[in-house]
């Protein structure tokens, strides 16, 4: 008798470019067989009814779990529950905690706490000590403790020479360098995209030149030392054009975006609701279209959430609220609704964007749906219609940009290392 049998599923396997209907047998955390009408006896059976899809386990390489130090917003346990509900079997935490993740002790704290969640909680570490932009961290010590990427996310590294040195060192230590592309002098206190909406609201705007300029700088620095640079949360047409040209020229650059950037525009801010404020901000329709096209044509390598929880009190004041929105529980649903059901991308493309590419970028083993592979699997009901109700989210914080949005497609089961860690297959919503 095996541990688990998935019967009659649409199996999405992007590495072999095959999508077919069949069964998956799992035992001792490993996929032991794949085929039609497998006759195994199993301790647990999940029925796919020929209409549910199973993807390689999703990976979100950009989340903020606020642990340590800011756990009133989120912690590793609650963040992981949100991740499971979103179909994620692995996440990468950003280091802007209190204290920042700039020591082996803090790296170990996050990884050890993450081991109890049932999914893989990975962490990045700071590029500079205290995220101060003044002195590089001890990357060898951070890597030995378990960190797999370097970033001062939440703040840019202002000193270009320090950033160049970090990139140069990444060639030796193999850690992915992730850049938060923003020039704080250009931003100068802006809180939403600079343009017609900011003018209508009479609030200070964030000029797109901030993102475009630092994106170009990071690519130039990466070129200078032959290093790989990963650009976080791309939101502007300008940045996309710069990245596309750099890729064409052979620069080792990858990038990511979040669903809200290819779905919404800054018109949402006319409501003066801080739940639509994040950094980078929602941009114009021209930017939204450019981001969507870049996802479709492969310029953008992966879809992330930038899951950034804040308390209701913090988000209550439009002008003073911190930037950020939660997104783990809506990411796959939003992508299925806006890109798959509209015929713009395939299921295989979604698996590439949300499972395969994040693993490749971080230097992690790629998870396939093949015999002998680890059973990290995400099950989705492609046609389930549901409405986002913030109070039903698993995150401590409810600051979702998608509140009240109706999606078609929903994660209904998450399997990590062969164990079912989330399952609502038999629930209506």
Backbone angles phi, psi at 41, to 5 degrees: -85, 140
Question: Who's near 176: CB < 8 A, 6+ residues apart?
Answer: 148, 149, 150, 170, 228, 230, 361, 362, 363
- Dig out the tokens for 163 from the structure: 């950033």
Distance CA 16, CA 368 (A): 9
Distance CA 131, CA 137 (A): 9
Distance CA 339, CA 345 (A): 6
Which bin fits 324, alpha (ψ -120 to 50), beta or left (φ > 0)? left
Helix (H) or strand (E) holding 205: strand 205-206
- Catalytic center residues: 306
- Three-class secondary structure of residue 63 per DSSP: strand
Distance CA 126, CA 102 (A): 5
- Dig out the tokens for 285 from the structure: 């329709």
Helix (H) or strand (E) holding 234: none
Distance CA 334, CA 348 (A): 16
């Amino acid at each position: 008798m095996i541990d688990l049998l998935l019967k009659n599923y649409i199996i999405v396997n992007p590495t072999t470019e095959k999508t077919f209907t069949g069964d998956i047998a799992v035992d001792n955390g490993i996929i032991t067989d794949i085929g039609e009408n497998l006759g195994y006896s199993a301790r647990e059976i999940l029925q796919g009814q020929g209409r549910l899809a199973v993807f390689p386990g999703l990976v979100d390489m950009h989340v903020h779990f606020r642990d340590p130090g800011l756990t009133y917003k989120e912690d590793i346990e609650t963040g992981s529950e949100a991740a499971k509900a979103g179909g994620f079997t692995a996440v990468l935490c950003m280091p802007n905690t209190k204290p920042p993740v700039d020591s082996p002790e803090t790296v170990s704290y996050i990884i050890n706490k993450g081991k109890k969640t049932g999914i893989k909680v990975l962490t990045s570490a700071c590029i500079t000590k205290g995220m101060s932009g003044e002195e590089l961290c001890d990357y060898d010590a951070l890597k030995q403790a378990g960190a797999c990427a370097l970033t001062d996310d939440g703040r840019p590294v202002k000193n270009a020479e320090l950033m160049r040195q970090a990139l140069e060192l990444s060639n030796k230590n193999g850690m992915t360098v992730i850049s938060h592309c923003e020039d704080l002098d250009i931003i100068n206190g802006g809180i939403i995209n600079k343009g017609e909406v900011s003018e209508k609201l009479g609030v200070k705007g964030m000029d797109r030149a901030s993102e475009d300029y630092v994106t170009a700088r990071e690519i130039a620095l990466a070129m200078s030392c032959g290093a790989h640079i990963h650009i976080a949360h791309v939101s502007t047409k300008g940045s996309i054009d710069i990245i596309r040209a750099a890729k064409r020229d052979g620069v080792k650059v990858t990038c990511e975006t979040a669903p809200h950037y290819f779905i919404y525009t800054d018109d949402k801010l006319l409501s003066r609701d801080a739940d639509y404020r994040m950094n980078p901000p929602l941009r114009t329709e021209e930017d939204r279209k450019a981001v969507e096209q870049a996802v479709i044509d492969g310029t953008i390598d992966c879809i992330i959430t930038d899951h950034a929880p804040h308390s209701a009190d913090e988000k209550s004041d439009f002008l003073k609220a911190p930037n950020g929105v939660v997104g783990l529980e809506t990411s796959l649903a939003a992508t299925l609704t806006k890109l798959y059901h509209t015929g713009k991308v395939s299921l295989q493309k979604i698996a590439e964007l949300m499972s395969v590419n994040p693993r490749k970028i971080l230097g992690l083993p790629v998870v396939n749906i093949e015999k002998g592979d680890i059973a990290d699997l995400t099950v989705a009901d492609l046609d389930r219609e549901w409405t986002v109700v913030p109070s039903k989210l698993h995150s401590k914080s409810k600051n979702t940009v998608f509140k009240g949005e109706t999606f078609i497609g929903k994660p209904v089961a998450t399997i990590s290392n062969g164990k079912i860690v989330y399952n609502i297959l038999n629930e209506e919503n």
